[in-house]
Structure 1
Amino acid sequence: MEKIWWVIVAFVAILSAALGHNLLLMMSLFLALIGGASHLWARYCLAGVSYRRRFGSTRLFFGEETDFHVEIVNAKPLPLAWLRAEDEFPVDLELLNGRLHTSYRPGRRLLINLLSLRWYERVTRHYRIRGSQRGAWEFGPVEIISGDIFGFSIKREKLQDTQTILVYPRIVPLTALGLPARHPFGDFKTPRRVMEDPTRLMGAREYLPGDSFRHIHWKATARRNELQTKVFEPSAMRPIAIFLNVNTFEYRYEGIDRDLQELAIMTAASIAHWAWEESHPIGLYVNSVTQPGGQRIRIRPGNHPDQLIWILEALARVVTYGRWPIEAVLHVEAPHLRYGTTIIVVSPVVNERLQRTLVDLKNREFGVSLVALGRKRLDMPPPGVQYYHIDGREVWHELEALELG
């Protein structure tokens, strides 16, 4: 369009010179002025323009709402007659005010802001969003579009700035899942009634055959010239390790039951929340990885103040398909668990291999519980393993109406 415009200007200027017509000459100058202004706007319209998102919180519990602000700045002396910003918005988050438009990308919508900006002007649009679906949801990139005031040229620029909102899984009381209110995973008695907490050193004593070499107190040994071993304060709180299987069928080619998978994740989150409220050291192991990053989910049992948050964040980021059988994860991780740890397996799939693994763990003096999900109930649960069954679809649809636990 710009080239055609300058051809017209040149033609009018030549014609005015040939005819000696002053009016045509003034018209050519006026058209040249319009073309120059159009070129200036087209070249510099997006210079100094910035787009910024601000969230009240980037971590949301299920159903929680937060503020979402969009700030657009024109940091130059050239005003903009119009500016259009198309920001990619995750379809699974709910925009409470404003309108979302269709996007060509699956799972995405467009938040479009159309406005004019004076020189050095800042405009802020205010929105509110609700975390209505567990996950790690990415905002952006954003495309900003502007041009000259006559519509001759349009300039586009894609800003690759992206931000992520985490929505934690839904948390419900264990009774809503059909688990008992008192001692849902036993009374936590072990063959050794009192366990030592290796994080709480109390003193040292003479080394005895059978003591672990890892607990030798080298400073006390140097002072007394004989082997000393560390003495730890007793702890009655039994660690809990939650193992989550995100696969809903035994074979990957069978696909995924989304509702059943979300129920399994919600069950793991609710158990972790209950254990944290009961002051148990808790850990989480999942046969999947996080998104983004692709890191294996492996949080060892602990009682750090942020332990529950780490677990909820991992569950928010978990990807759809499990990479390994859950029994393989149990084989790898169980040897690293402390003596007396209670292992809770949450799995929509319970095959013979998993049952044999659970019996083996029970024989190794772990407390073992199995929370199975889906329509199929075991006729004979593994011997010595505490067994619960949660029916899949009915329970999930009932729990969709519940508030946060």
Structure 2
Amino acid sequence: MGIHWYILSALFVILAQRYLFRYFGMRGVGYTRNFSVETCFEGDRIEMVERLANRKFVPVPWLRVESLLHTGLKFESDSNFAVSSGDIYQNHRSLFSLMGNKQLTRRHSVLATTRGCYRLTSASLTFGDLFGMFSSWRSVPLNVELLVYPQPADRSLIQLPSRSWQGDITVRRWIVEDPFYISGVREYRPGDSFRSVNWSATARTGSLQVHRRDFTADYRLIVLLNVEDHAGMWEVVNNPELIEEGIRYAAAIMQYATEQGMETAFACNGHELDQPGEIMKVERGSGSEHLHHLYGKLAKLVIARALPFDAMIEQLSAEWEERCDIVLISAFMSEPIEREMAKLRSAGHSVDWLRIAGAEEVAAG
């Protein structure tokens, strides 16, 4: 009789806990996941933070969290964090156990190895009872985005064209008189406005004197990036790493131009992550905020041709009414591209080609 009682009691406990955890196990349980930063550069080490909260007295015996993420983020080994990695995506799993009215935070070290936009849209939560008699799952929506900016290329490795927007600016191009910058006085010349007369200097010298205004240059730079890695390319890029290097070139040039106080625009015949089929175009701007906007666009750039490079130049050139410095970043040069460059020069623009060097060329140099 005693043994039967123990068996019946054990069965009752097992069944009771099964129904208890089945109907109350996930009530009051919340799960969130995010990154320690919203933006970073290639090669930066950041953290992915998981938070689990149990807001009821019934414990959570075990909870497994699974989700997919691109392999561009490399996770360190962790006893509570298993990673199964493929060529493009990796599946990672976390195992939790939490008492009632408790919360738990885990931090996982992540190395951002590749430029890109990494999004966490959902996670799958699998839970069950103490004895594994049942298990169930539910999907938790997430809205997390990490932008990994391209690491600007080493400027010493880039053969930049010799233009006025580099180094110490000594040659002024497209010079215009600045009405707010007065550097002295000079003799009146026919055509000078009487509003510019310096009456104090005129009275002192006995001859008509006008304000001498200094000159400033209006610097405008347009960076054009070609995602085609060879002439005659259709849709598929054979050497994506070569184009990634071109993206780093673009980041370095735009960073340098911003430091020089130039207004910078950008266009590429690839497309943005959320706008397939459309070329990427960023209007002219200046300052650090505009530079980070450019970095964000580069992070979301998809290396897939939306338009032939020469066709993109022809399409955009009609919008460039003011003369600009234009830098073409491309792995190759072709006759159609050369024709478009000649048209730009005839319109008064300064145009240069910056060839993307492969890894073997950089090493040899």
Range class of TM-score, shorter chain: 0.7 to 0.9
Q: SS where residue 161 of structure 1 aligns?
A: strand
Q: Does 1:141 align with 2:122?
A: yes
Identify which of 237, 262, 280 aligns with 1:280.
262
- Aligned partners of 1:234 and 1:180: how far apart in 2? 24
Distance 2:364 2:142 in 1: 39
Q: Which residue of 2 aligns with 1:392?
A: 358
Aligned counterpart in structure 2 of residue 193 of structure 1, from 158, 164, 175:
175
Q: Indicate the SS of the match to 1:252.
A: coil
Q: CA shift at 1:331, angstroms?
A: 1.6
Quote the Cα distance in structure 2 between the aligned partners of 1:102 and 1:246: 31
- The 1:297/1:129 distance shift into structure 2, 3 A limit, reads same
Q: How many aligned residue pairs are there?
A: 326
Letter in 2 for 1:78: V
Determine the structure 1 residue equivalent to 2:204. none
CA deviations 1:347-400 (Å, max 9, x no partner) are 123211110000010000011111123xxxxxxxxxxxxxxxxx323245689x
* Deviates further, 156-165 or 346-355: 156-165
**1:124–1:396 distance in 2 versus 1, CA, 3 Å:** farther
Instruction: Supply the distance in 2 between the matched residues of 1:59 and 1:398 (Cα, whole angstroms).
Output: 33
Cα 1:264–1:23 shift into 2, 3 Å: closer
The aligned counterpart of 2:183 is none
Q: Is the 8 A contact 2:159 2:354 kept in 1?
A: no
Partner of 2:135: 154
What one-letter code is carried by the residue in structure 2 that aligns with 1:172?
A
- Cα distance per residue 1:22-62 (max 9 Å; x no partner): 97577546524431321221233222222212322110022
1:116-135 equivalences under 5 Å are: 116-135=97-116
Shift of residue 268, structure 1, vs aligned partner: 0.9
Distance 2:6 2:360 in 1: 80
SS in 1 for 2:257: helix
Whole-angstrom distance in 2 between the partners of 1:158 and 1:397? 48
Question: Is 1:350 paired with 2:330?
Answer: no
1:67 to 41, 47, 61: 47
Counterpart position of 1:243: 224
Aligned partners of 2:36 and 2:122: how far apart in 1? 20
Structure 1 unmatched runs, 5+: 1-20, 201-232, 374-390, 400-405
Quick one: structure 1 residues 357 and 35, their matched pair in 2 at CA, closer, same or farther if it must change by over 3 Å?
same
Residue 256 of structure 2 is aligned to residue 256 of structure 1:
no
Root-mean-square deviation (Å):
3.0
**Inter-CA distance 118–243: structure 2 relative to 1 (3 Å threshold):** same
| Distance change in 2, residues 1:38/1:254 (3 Å) | closer
> What CA distance in whole angstroms lies between the structure 2 residues aligned with 1:113 and 1:358?
54
Q: Deviations over 1:150-204 (max 9, x none)?
A: 11100111223142211111113422223378857697754x432889xx9xxxx
Q: Confirm whether residue 171 of structure 1 aligns to residue 152 of structure 2.
A: yes
CA contact (8 A) 2:82 2:94 kept: no
User: For residue 169 of structure 1, what is the amino acid of its counterpart?
Assistant: P
**1:366 is the counterpart of 2:349:** yes
Cα distance in 2 for partners of 1:96, 1:102 equals 12
TM-superposed deviation, 1:234: 7.0
For 1:32 and 1:338, the matched residues in 2 are separated by 83
What is the CA–CA distance in structure 2 between the aligned matches of 1:195 and 1:70, rounded to whole Å? 58
The question of whether the paired residues in 2 share the 8 Å contact of 1:87 and 1:111 is answered with yes
In structure 1, the residue matched to 2:33 is: 53
- Give the 3 Å change call, closer, same or farther, for CA 68–188 of structure 1 in structure 2: farther
* d(CA) in 1 for partners of 2:274, 2:127: 33
In 2, the alpha carbon distance for the partners of 1:174 and 1:291 equals: 28
1:89 matched to 2:69: yes
Q: Secondary structure at the match of 1:152?
A: coil
Task: Tell me, yes or no, if the aligned pair for 1:340 and 1:366 is still in contact at 8 Å.
Answer: yes
Q: Residues of 1 paired with 2:34 and 2:97: CA distance?
A: 21
Q: Which residue of 2 aligns with 1:44?
A: 24
Would you tell me which structure has more strand in proportion to its own residues?
A: 2
Whichever residue aligns with residue 131 of structure 1, its letter is A
Query: 1:16 maps to what in 2?
Result: none
* CA deviation vs aligned residue, 1:136-159 (integer Å, no higher than 9, x gap): 122353211111111110011122
Question: What TM-score, normalized by structure 2, do the two folds share?
Answer: 0.79
TM-score, normalised with respect to structure 1? 0.72
Tell whether 2:224 aligns with 1:270: no
Question: Do residues 333 (structure 1) and 299 (structure 2) align?
Answer: no
Is residue 317 of structure 1 aligned with residue 283 of structure 2?
A: no
1:262 counterpart letter in structure 2? E
CA contact (8 A) 1:263 1:396 kept: no
For 1:78-132, what per-residue CA distance to the aligned partner results, in whole angstroms no more than 9, with x for missing partners? Answer: 11121111233331112245354215x7522233222211112101112222222
Deviation, structure 1 residue 290: 1.1
Amino acid aligned to 1:90: H
Residue in 1 aligned with 2:91? 110
Contact 1:194 1:234 in 2 (8 A): yes
